Amino acid sequence: MKLQWGVRLIILILAGLFILSLGRNLVRLWRAGDRLEQAEEKVQALREENWQLKKEQQFLGSRLFFEQQVRDKLNMVKPGEAVVLLPPAASLRPDQEEEGTQEELDLPVWRQWWQLFWE
């Protein structure tokens, strides 16, 4: 009888160790699946970035970009064209003083509307 209890105890301990090992392996596989999904998402993001960079490289190597840079940086024009220089944006609003002072413009929008209709 004692021998049967000893065998049962050993089998029970081995079964418990087997279940623990199986549980650890399942958790490890589950985490590996998560890492695989993350890696696939990263690969997809890198593919999209690569596509954007190739598109940008193609544009930067094009004649259109070259002409745009020559016009913008060197102020060069094609024969028959004229360069138009605009004044800075601040000088485009000469009526700013008529609209209100800087203090009035710093007010919240709701307060400006209140002053417009009720003051």
Q: Count CA atoms closer than 13 A to 44's CA, side-chain side.
A: 6
Q: Which of 18-27, 61-70, 86-95 has the highest mean pLDDT?
A: 18-27
The token pair that represents 102 in the structure block = 């800087």
In the chain, what percentage of residues exceed pLDDT 90? 39
Q: What is the pLDDT of residues 66-109, one digit of tens each?
A: 988 888 888 788 888 887 777 776 555 555 555 556 666 677 88
Q: What pLDDT is attached to residue 94?
A: 53
Q: What pLDDT is attached to residue 6?
A: 84
* Mean pLDDT taken over the chain: 83
Q: What pLDDT is attached to residue 99?
A: 53
Listed in sequence order, the residues at least 6 apart from 107 whose beta carbon sits closer than 8 Å to its beta carbon are 115
Q: Which of 118, 88, 70, 31 is nearest to 62 (CA)?
A: 70
